[in-house]
Amino acid sequence: MMYNEDIPLLKEYLLILDSINVTGIIYDDLAVLNIVKNLKLNIPLVWFGIHSFTNYYTSNYWYEKGVKYGVLSTEITLDQIKKISNNTKLITMMYGYGYLPMFVSARPLITSYFKHINKPYEKKVYNMYESQRNKTYPTIENEEGTIILSSDIINTIEELPDISKMVDYLILSSLNISKDKFTNIYEYYIKALSFLDNKEELKKISQDVSNESDHKTDKGFLYKETVYRVKNSDN
């Protein structure tokens, strides 16, 4: 999280990064785009509006403003991703493995909760339980605030034949996953690229990824619409 008082330091960092020709800068605060334009920098920008890149109209708007890359929303389907990729001018990225970020707060929510119940706070990953869905959500607090992750880990091995034709980059996230396990999972994804025409082999590799993962894996929202309409009612 950044605040107004951080802007001078942000400008310094951007000037340094521009001088060493970095491949790109990932950002979610639109102030970064404005500062880059005002300073006339040539840094390629990666729009990381994790829940915002849901259509190609918005992405093309930001392209015209100078953005080069975009990280697709984690809450859209494979069909929607295909439609966007066919029409967007941005170079696209999407989450292919890992816990999905669901909620971020600048506040120390876990610390505040333990103070409220008069118990000592221990710095670790907590699992927030939701009774309605009977699921737990990894919750992490650090000096930047609090982040709540998805209950399950997305695994897109079997979708790679389609994804490889739609997006330019696949993100494998190691957040809340041990280094050794993540290294093995990375190798499975590299292996899968050699079997894009072999569904049975991809299925086996996908199972290997699931077995290696610390938690249950699923397909995220790739096959689930996230917009629900109220049923028609005569009342």
More confident residue, 144 or 230: 144
Asked if the model's pLDDT at residue 235 lies above 60, the reply is no
| Position 165 in a domain | yes
- pLDDT, average across residues 39-49: 94
The string of pLDDT tens digits covering residues 61-77 is 999 999 999 999 999 99
Model confidence, pTM: 0.89
Q: What is the token pair recorded at 188?
A: 């499975």
Give the pLDDT band (50/70/90) at residue 230.
very low
Q: pLDDT > 70: what percent of the chain?
A: 96
Q: Which of 59, 102, 94 is nearest to 73 (CA)?
A: 94
| Position 227 in a domain | no
| Position 111 in a domain | yes
| Position 226 in a domain | no
Asked if the model's pLDDT at residue 225 lies above 90, the reply is no
| Position 6 in a domain | no
Asked if the model's pLDDT at residue 107 lies above 90, the reply is yes
Asked if the model's pLDDT at residue 233 lies above 60, the reply is no
Domain that holds residue 117: 44-218
| Position 61 in a domain | yes
Give the pLDDT band (50/70/90) at residue 163.
very high
Asked if the model's pLDDT at residue 31 lies above 50, the reply is yes
Q: How many domains does the chain have?
A: 1
pLDDT of residue 181: 97
Compute the residue count for the chain: 235
- Pairing between strand 91-105 and 126-130? unpaired
Q: Using the structure block, give the residue that is written with the tokens 């190798």.
A: 187
More confident residue, 86 or 227: 86
- Rounded CA gap, 74 and 62, in Å? 19
The string of pLDDT tens digits covering residues 111-122 is 999 999 999 999
> What's the mean pLDDT when you consider all of the chain?
93
| Position 163 in a domain | yes
Who contacts 86 (Cβ-Cβ below 8 Å, separation ≥6)?
A: none
| Position 174 in a domain | yes
